[in-house]
């Protein structure tokens, strides 16, 4: 029986490594979404709707394969519903920001999401923000500013769009918190099932938005269809699925730094496939972001989410977060 402690102590490190690799892959998958959106011949809200909708068949298969045969699916939970609504809000305000301010302003302001996540992690998730995470966040914010460069500019006529960018970051940050709650619950919520169910909610909300605000919902070319399918499969099913998987082992505060990796991936895709240039300052910004991620990397698995318990039972946290 003396060999039992070894695998127990080694397991967290291996789990963190797998989760970190999944987080990196998910960031790349989500970061290349602008290439698909740009060539999808539908409106921005319609593309957001199709992004969630076209991922559903693949996510349904994933969710079913994760569940052992004969095992009932876990119940729907508030955190799952909240994740779907919050992600719909994130996409909605992101597109409003893009339409009402510069892409640089919208991108930089959206990168405030990890700041809100880290501020809320201690109070809501009982996950402390370490000094390394705070330093990593500061480095990532600096890197994002360098990556955007001189493209960022304040103008009174774009103030509304800039505010939409800030609201986007709040929704995206709240989405991370909800996903972390759902993944750390006790009812067997697997990554595929979580993203599938939350995507059902996201698609329903965005369908209403698209019907109300869009003139073009259906693509008219095969290229547009292909881009929307790629958006759903790669950016949403793969990107959001890997993020949900990573949130089972990584803290919300660290995982939220994925938004900076998205910016790096988007810049790389723009350079390689869209003819966009990358100057020395932008290259330096990408390097600083990667350094910030390395600084903030987790050294140990986070503890379970501690929710509000009854005053008479402070040592027994409840698990009603899902």
pLDDT tens for residues 169-207? 999 999 989 998 888 765 678 889 999 999 999 999 999
Instruction: Please report whether residue 317 resides in a domain.
Output: no
Instruction: Please report whether residue 91 resides in a domain.
Output: yes
Instruction: Please report whether residue 307 resides in a domain.
Output: no
Write out pLDDT tens, residues 231-258: 999 989 999 999 889 888 888 888 888 7
Instruction: Please report whether residue 245 resides in a domain.
Output: yes
Average pLDDT, the chain: 81
User: What is the pTM (predicted TM-score) of this model?
Assistant: 0.78
Write out pLDDT tens, residues 60-82: 999 999 888 878 888 888 999 99
Q: Which domain holds residue 233?
A: 18-66+74-296
116 has pLDDT over 50:
yes
Instruction: Please report whether residue 189 resides in a domain.
Output: yes
Q: Which of 20-24, 101-105, 138-142, 246-250 has the lowest mean pLDDT?
A: 101-105
Q: How far apart are CA 120 and CA 318, in angstroms?
A: 19
Give the model's pLDDT for residue 157.
76
Other beta carbons within 10 angstroms of residue 76's beta carbon come to 14
Q: How far apart are CA 200 and CA 85, in angstroms?
A: 10
Q: How far apart are CA 166 and CA 288, in angstroms?
A: 23
In this structure, are residues 168 and 110 in contact, taking their beta carbons and an 8 Å threshold? yes
Give the model's pLDDT for residue 319.
35
The alpha carbon dihedral of 271, 243, 56, 47 has a sign of: negative
* Tokens describing residue 286: 């990408």
Degrees, nearest 5: CA angle 47-51-56: 145
Number of domains composing the chain: 1
**Widest Cα–Cα separation across the chain:** 70
Instruction: Please report whether residue 103 resides in a domain.
Output: yes
Instruction: Please report whether residue 316 resides in a domain.
Output: no
Exposed / middle / buried, residue 268 (Cβ in 10 Å: 0-12, 13-18, 19+) = middle
Instruction: Please report whether residue 9 resides in a domain.
Output: no
Buried b (16+ CB within 10 A) or exposed e, 94-116: bbbbbebbbeebbbbbbbbbbbb
- Which of 313, 314, 305, 320 is closest to 125 using CA atoms? 305
* Tokens describing residue 268: 């790389």
């Amino acid at each position: 029986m003396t060999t039992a402690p070894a695998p127990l102590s080694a397991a967290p490190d291996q789990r963190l490594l797998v989760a970190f690799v999944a987080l990196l892959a998910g960031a790349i998958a989500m970061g290349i979404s602008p290439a698909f959106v740009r060539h999808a011949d539908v409106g921005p809200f319609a593309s957001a709707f199709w992004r969630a909708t076209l991922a559903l068949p693949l996510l349904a298969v994933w969710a079913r394969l994760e569940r052992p045969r004969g095992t009932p699916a876990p119940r729907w939970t508030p955190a799952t519903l909240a994740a779907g609504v919050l992600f719909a809000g994130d996409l909605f305000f992101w597109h409003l920001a893009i339409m009402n301010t510069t892409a640089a302003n919208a991108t930089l302001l959206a990168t405030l999401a990890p700041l809100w996540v880290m501020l809320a992690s201690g109070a809501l998730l009982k996950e402390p923000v370490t000094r390394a995470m705070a330093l990593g966040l500061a480095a990532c914010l600096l890197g994002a500013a360098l990556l955007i460069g001189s493209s960022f500019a304040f103008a009174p006529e774009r103030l509304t769009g800039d505010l939409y960018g800030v609201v986007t970051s709040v929704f995206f940050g709240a989405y991370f918190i909800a996903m972390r709650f759902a993944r750390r619950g006790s009812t067997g919520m697997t990554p595929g099932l979580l993203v599938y169910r939350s995507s059902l909610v996201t698609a329903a909300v965005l369908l209403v938005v698209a019907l109300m605000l869009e003139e073009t919902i259906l693509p008219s070319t095969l290229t547009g269809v292909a881009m929307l399918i790629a958006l759903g499969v790669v950016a949403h099913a793969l990107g959001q699925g890997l993020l949900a998987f990573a949130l089972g082992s990584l803290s919300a505060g660290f995982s939220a730094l994925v938004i900076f990796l998205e910016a790096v991936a988007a810049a790389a895709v723009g350079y390689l496939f869209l003819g966009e240039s990358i100057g020395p300052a932008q290259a330096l910004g990408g390097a600083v972001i990667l350094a910030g991620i390395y600084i903030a990397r987790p050294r140990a698995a986070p503890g379970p989410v501690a929710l509000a318990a009854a005053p008479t039972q402070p040592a027994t946290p409840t698990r009603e977060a899902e």
